């Protein structure tokens, strides 16, 4: 009816079940620095989509997935469409969904796999648990290619929460200090970093915590020993046999130079 605001999804002050999805950030009704929780039952009342997904790397073959589009969840929470959504996983991984990414790839929060609720979800190819939640797409085609880095799908599993952040502010903080040209090495590195490195490495209040090395540490390594830094980017185990970071054998010299220039720009002596 005219004049009546759309009903918002309920937010609970405390977790009542491991299946509750943690919500935080710039969300109406949530105090700064606090979090709230959404029940699976309430998520299940939102508009949903179902797809026969064939190219999600988390699955060994085609799978039927049903879930809530992230933009639908934005609306149910009363959040601005210009926000960046950060999906945090139980292992410290953090996937990032900009407004552009969502408009291009239409990611959705998976509620059912093969028609089954989370208690009956199968294990992953390596025995991993997909729950509490995972995020997928109907299909994925890279929208850009930067040097040797093509756009990759953000398909985390083990998702425990979503953070809603001011996208413009986050991207501004991640931009290389002093960069003026969009085609400079540091700016090319920036675009790769937002696509890839940010998922496991942290800068300030954004990024994953899967790696203990955040922006300050990587900036110092890139500045002090660029050769070792570049070698680590391509083949981490060749530098540290115990490294858990995935190798990037496709990274050529230009890609390594761009990433090195980006992180060097954050070294203290490099700031203007």
Structural domains in the chain, sorted by start: 1-166 (3.90.420.10), 175-272 (2.60.40.420)
Kindly report the CA angle at 69 between 91 and 189, in degrees rounded to 5?
55
Nearest Cα to Cα of residue 155 among 192, 107, 111: 107
Q: Would you give the end-to-end CA distance of the chain in angstroms?
A: 55
* Residue 83: pLDDT over 90: yes
* Burial of 92: CB neighbours in 10 Å, binned 0-12, 13-18, 19+: middle
Mean pLDDT of the chain: 93
Residues in CB range of 44: below 8 A, 6 or more apart:
111
Give CA–CA dist 36/26, Å, rounded: 12
Residues in CB range of 63: below 8 A, 6 or more apart:
52, 53, 56, 113, 114
Band (pLDDT 50/70/90 cuts) for residue 211 is: very high
Rounded to two decimals, what is the model's pTM?
A: 0.92
Q: How many helices (H) and strands (E) does the chain have?
A: 9, 13
Give CA–CA dist 271/3, Å, rounded: 51
Band (pLDDT 50/70/90 cuts) for residue 179 is: confident
Rounded-to-10 torsion of CA 95, 98, 103, 106? 10
Band (pLDDT 50/70/90 cuts) for residue 269 is: low
């Amino acid at each position: 009816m005219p004049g009546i605001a759309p009903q918002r999804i309920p937010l609970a002050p405390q977790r009542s079940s491991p299946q509750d999805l943690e919500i935080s950030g710039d969300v109406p009704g949530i105090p700064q620095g606090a979090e709230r929780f959404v029940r699976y039952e309430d998520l299940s009342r939102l508009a949903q989509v179902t797809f026969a997904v064939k190219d999600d790397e988390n699955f060994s073959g085609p799978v039927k997935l049903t879930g809530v589009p992230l933009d639908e969840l934005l609306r149910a929470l009363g959040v601005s469409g210009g926000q960046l959504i950060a999906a945090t996983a139980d292992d410290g991984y953090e996937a990032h969904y900009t407004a552009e990414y969502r408009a291009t790839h239409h990611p959705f929060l998976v509620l059912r796999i093969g028609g089954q609720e989370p208690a009956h979800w199968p294990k992953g190819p390596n025995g991993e648990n997909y729950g509490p939640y995972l995020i997928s797409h109907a299909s994925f085609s890279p929208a850009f290619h930067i040097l040797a880095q093509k756009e990759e799908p953000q398909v985390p599993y083990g998702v425990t929460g979503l953070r809603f952040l001011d996208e413009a502010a986050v991207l501004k903080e991640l931009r290389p200090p002093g960069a003026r040209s969009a085609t400079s090495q540091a700016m090319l590195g920036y675009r790769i970093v937002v696509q890839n490195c940010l998922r496991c490495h942290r800068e300030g209040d954004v990024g994953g915590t899967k790696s203990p090395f955040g922006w300050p540490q990587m900036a110092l390594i890139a500045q002090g020993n660029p050769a070792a830094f570049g070698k680590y980017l391509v083949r981490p185990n060749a530098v540290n046999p115990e490294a858990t970071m995935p190798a990037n054998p496709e990274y050529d010299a230009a890609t390594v130079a761009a990433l090195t220039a980006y992180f060097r720009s954050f070294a203290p002596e490099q700031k203007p």
